[in-house]
Chain A
Amino acid sequence: MHGEESIRHDLELLDRAMTRRRLLRGGLAIGGGALALPLLGACASGGSTAATQSSGGSIAGTIDFISYVAYDLKFPLMNKWRSSHGIDLKSTYISDQSEVTAKLTSPAGHGLYNLSSYSAQYAPFYKKLGILTPLDMSKIPNYANSMPFFKSGKIWSEYWNFDGHQWGVPFTWGYDSINYNAAKIKPITKTSDFLLPELKNKFAVADDMLGMILMSAQSLGIANPRGLFTTSQLNQIVAFLTKMKKNARTVASGFGDIVNLYASGEIVANISGFPGMQVLVAQKGITTIRSALPEEGSLSYCDTYFIPAGGNDTASVYAFINECLTPPMQAQEAGYLQAGVTTVNGAAAVAAPNRVYVPYNDVTSLFEKAPLFGLPFSPPAGYASFTDWTNAWESVKAS
């Protein structure tokens, strides 16, 4: 079913998924332009773009998009929808959320883009930077189909709807897990297992700052919803991670590297991983990779569309966002982005092979075990900041 090009495409997405949290330029910003992005993920079921409510009025225009490759949803179904509505798409790709921050806060970037995305926890920070626009939710009626977690509750009021307005629309999400090759070792259940001598030199650590720091924090029992660690707690995390890194075979800079390492037999496990790893390595002929949510807990991510301040032509953008929340599109997105979808009817439409990315049957308890942690962009005094986290991770890698 998958052609070579689409397999490459899948892997490219994976790489992007990892690079979402920090980054080496070699991943998608460069590769994205170069790699042909055609094909779709899963086989398309559901032909017609079912008319769930769509906004009236002329929506033709241009979407000036800036975010990760693939977040502009260039799969055939969406492409067809756009062209039939006269919506043009111009994309600028980034390989790290910080690039979005940089581009949108610089005066040179103001007004250039009308669609972007943020990792949910960035919301308060971006609000402070003044790059968000309050959304006219009457233009996104399909948002009402979202799962309860994404349209109500505590997290919703922190990352999506606060200060009397809605600032972003969540559309894709997932969580970090542990991966291992069940054919080569017995199941790994804990993050702390990676410190054991049995695994020495047999696994890869992903170059994923957020994932590694937060999973360690969970293992050490010091994780908290606001992502606040004192300096000594951060040092604890660094010590933990340094030990783990020294026990590893290598630090992999992208998920694609990890797939290669499995294929060449260099590793039998990796952390941080994600459920889709099973699918990707399977394409290399190894079908025994498993994913496990660590007992100590893990973390989730959720990417959110927003309209950058100063963006024009927003009618097209609203229509696009509304459309991406329809079941046929959501079904496509699950495979295209290798992640979970956010609407109830969308989730129901996701084909079986693409249901592996998130546990649709129990979203609430997943978010309990793997929360959407807050990020300390401007922490209170005495607590480590996001920059401190970045430096901490650099020191782990260089140790």
Chain B
Amino acid sequence: MRTVLRRLRRRLRRRGIGLLHVYVGLLLLFLFLPLAVLVLFSFSASGQLRFPITGLALRWYQEVFSSSAVIDGILASLGVAAVTGAVVATVGTLAAVAVNRYRFRGSAVVAGMILAPAALPGLVIGIALLNFFGDIHLTLSLLTVMIGHVIYTLPYFYLVLSARLRRFDPMLEEVATDMGAGPLQRFRRVTAPLIAPAIVASAFVVLALSWDEFQITFFTIGDQSTLPLVIWSRARLSIDPSVNAIGTLMVAGSLLVVIFTRRFIAESYS
């Protein structure tokens, strides 16, 4: 057995494939196995979620798209994500700019407070909000969900944006100041256009997080449902490939978001 492995390793090495490559390949396979299974079974003609798959069909997608519950869920998720994104982008940008550009005392504390929600599991945030809404007699609805999503995604937006802001070269602003630009002008003509891509990228992270969020939403939602909750209630009633179809749609949605931000991701990791 040992010699077989050694020979295999040598052969792979010759092709420039080391142990590390194999490991990474396997790990990526592991990461994508459930998704592959998910997508595969969403096209299964029979209702069975077992191998072998007998035939391919689009019927589950037809069924899903004709279900008003699913459509409502998609619209609800999109709405929540959009509003959350807008709110977080506004609040978060102002905050990130404040902390990064103006070095005032206590900025570390502020940063800590912004990041605090990320240190808690969604469970605690969810029940704290549920309790809070009960105390102030606020009916649960998509609004309460949005509040939860804003709190949840704000730290991540802030993290990503401030990481980019740190790479931002203050030289350009200096030049503008030297040329006589006032603070507002400086912001408008120099800062804003430069950090806009960073803001957009960070906002996309928010969209993706909100689109996918379940744990906090579970506690703060009222009569409507976001897409993850539609999947949850559907899956509890019957795990048939229609759940897979919705899941695949969710993946597709995330894929789109990630592709859009591809350019911006490239910048941060170069």
Chain A interface residues (CB < 8 Å from chain B): 4-5, 7-8, 11-12, 14-15, 25-36, 92-93, 108, 253-254, 256-257, 259-260, 263-264, 284-285
Contacts and interface: CB of A to CB of B under 8 A. Distances in A.
Contacts of B201: none
A26 B236 contact: yes
Contact of A93 (B63, B223, B239, B242): B223
B68 A31 contact: no
A104 B128 CA distance: 23
Nearest to A3: B63
A62 B230 CA distance: 29
Interface string B62-105: 01000111001100000000000000000000000000000000
Nearest to A108: B137
Interface in B212-237: 218-219, 221-225, 229-230, 232-234, 236-237
A35 B223 contact: no
Given A108-B137, A285-B47, 13 more contacts: A4-B63, A7-B238, A26-B229, A26-B233, A26-B236, A30-B229, A31-B237, A33-B224, A33-B225, A35-B234, A36-B67, A36-B69, A259-B238
B176 interface: no
Best-buried of B67, B237, B242 by chain A (most CB within 10 Å)? B237
Contacts of A27: 233, 236
A27 to B, nearest CB: 7
B238 A11 contact: yes
A12 B218 CA distance: 18
Given A25-B218, A29-B223, A34 B237 contact: no
Contact of A34 (B49, B63, B72): B72
A85 B122 CA distance: 47
Contacts of A12: 233, 237
A31 B225 contact: yes
Given A31-B236, A253-B236, A264 B229 contact: no
Contacts of B223: 29-30, 32-33, 92-93
A108 B139 CA distance: 11
Interface of B: 47, 49-50, 63, 67-69, 72-73, 137, 218-219, 221-225, 229-230, 232-234, 236-239, 242
Nearest to A12: B237
19 contacts: A5-B67, A8-B238, A11-B237, A14-B237, A25-B218, A26-B236, A30-B221, A30-B223, A30-B233, A31-B225, A31-B234, A34-B73, A34-B233, A256-B237, A256-B238, A259-B237, A264-B50, A264-B239, A285-B47
B230 A257 contact: no
Per DSSP, chain B at the interface is helix
A256 B235 CA distance: 8
A341 B106 CA distance: 68
Given A5-B67, A36-B68, A264-B239, A31 B47 contact: no
B98 to A, nearest CB: 38
Given A34-B72, A34-B73, A34-B229, A15 B237 contact: yes
Contacts of B67: 5, 36
Contacts of B225: 30-31, 33-34
Per DSSP, chain A at the interface is helix
B228 to A, nearest CB: 11
A8 B237 contact: yes
Nearest to B223: A33
Contacts of B137: 108
A180 to B, nearest CB: 20
Contacts of B47: 284-285
Contacts of A26: 218, 229, 232-233, 236
B57 to A, nearest CB: 13
B32 to A, nearest CB: 22
A34 B69 contact: yes
A11 B233 CA distance: 11
Contacts of B232: 26, 30-31
Shortest 5 CB-CB contacts between residues of A and residues of B: A31-B233, A34-B225, A256-B237, A33-B223, A11-B237
A31 B234 CA distance: 7
A8 B239 CA distance: 11
A92 B218 CA distance: 18
A35 B229 CA distance: 11
A34 B230 contact: yes
B3 to A, nearest CB: 41
Contacts of B49: 263-264
Contacts of B239: 260, 263-264
Contacts of A92: 223
B133 to A, nearest CB: 13
B236 A257 contact: yes
Contacts of B234: 8, 31, 35
A33 B232 CA distance: 13
A254 B218 CA distance: 16
Contacts of A254: 236-237
A13 to B, nearest CB: 9
Contacts of B242: 4
A27 B229 CA distance: 10
A254 B225 CA distance: 18
Nearest to A4: B63
